[in-house]
């Protein structure tokens, strides 16, 4: 969500900046009753800011609730690695040789 918001802000700034505007239609007013393309992009970026903030707050709330219910801090799942120095190709080669006898 944060990356999407950042991209929306960049697009809104580019559309608003006269020097970066190739089309030159971006900063013109839209037809009667409609906003310009730059205005729509700025409003979209503002909407994305609200969504990304809400998602972050929801995630922080879920982590706090987990700690309260379970009694320990939340940590992301980490899959245990079998023989961390051994690659998948090496494991496959060993299994193929074992199958051959």
Neighbours of 24 (CB within 10 A): 8
The per-residue pLDDT string of the chain (101 residues; one tens digit each, 9 = 90 and over) reads 667 778 888 887 777 776 455 555 555 555 666 677 778 888 888 888 898 899 999 999 999 999 999 999 999 888 887 766 667 788 888 888 889 87
What residues contact residue 36 under an 8 Å CB cut-off, 6+ apart? 26, 27, 28, 29, 30
> What's the DSSP call for residue 79?
P
pLDDT of residue 25: 55
pLDDT of residue 57: 95
Domain that holds residue 49: 2-100
Q: What is the 3-state secondary structure (H, E, C) of 23-71?
A: CCCCCCCCCCCCCCHHHHHHHHHHHHHHHHHHHHHHHHHHHHHHHHHHC
Domain count, the chain: 1
């Amino acid at each position: 969500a944060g990356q999407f918001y950042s991209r929306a802000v960049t697009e809104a700034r580019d559309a608003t900046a006269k020097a970066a505007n190739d089309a030159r239609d971006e900063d013109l007013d839209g037809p009667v009753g409609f906003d310009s393309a730059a205005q729509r992009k700025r409003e979209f970026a503002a909407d994305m800011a609200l969504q990304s903030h809400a998602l972050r707050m929801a995630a922080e709330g879920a982590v706090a609730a987990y700690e309260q219910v379970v009694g320990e801090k939340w940590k992301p799942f980490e899959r245990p690695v079998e023989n961390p120095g051994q690659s998948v190709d090496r494991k496959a080669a060993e299994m193929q040789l074992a199958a051959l006898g």
